[in-house]
Structure 1
């Protein structure tokens, strides 16, 4: 099952993966907000309150993990963009040197 997910992720673009992780992060944040609201507004037993705090801890860990993955993917996206721009500049330079200068002669 994990290998299938990895192969599927290899076929997706970095931007698509960033969007997917941002959506997951948003859902985690919404869940965290709901749990925090519930812990403040409801009168809970000590066990229920502890369960909610454990759930909040787990959700916070997920959010931190997603933030790290997003940071990595954004860095990769920046690197890909810089590579694309540099290839465009090199292509324009070659065009100018080889084709544009030939027309002037």
Structure 2
């Protein structure tokens, strides 16, 4: 018997994940701008206009999802930074208390 292929979750930093989500959000934002421009400038039939409005709504929902994800990631990044600073401060205190 062969083992099922295990999927390994890629270990990436919070900052890298923030960059990836910001890139995806930026692409959605540019798609939204293009769709809104097309909606304003082109003469569309009723069905085409409805399809374009549905696409705009979907893109706006994705942007909101990315905004929420970015908020969570930035909060986690701040927490990690504070933890790092606290550990550095503890290490410095131990160094000066026991070595100096």
What's the TM-score once normalised by structure 1's chain length?
A: 0.88
Runs of 4+ in 1 over 6 A off after TM superposition: none
Q: Which residue of 1 aligns with 2:3?
A: none
* Structure 1 unmatched runs, 5+: 101-105
Deviations 1:51-78 (A, max 9, x none): 0000000000000000000000000000
Shift of 1:17: 0.1
Q: Which residue of 2 aligns with 1:19?
A: 19
CA RMSD, 1 decimal:
1.2
Q: Which residue of 2 aligns with 1:54?
A: 54
What's the TM-score once normalised by structure 2's chain length?
A: 0.92
* Larger relative helix fraction: 1
Deviations 1:22-72 (A, max 9, x none): 000000000000000000000000110100000000000000000000000
The alignment of Structure 1 onto Structure 2 pairs a total of residues equal to 95
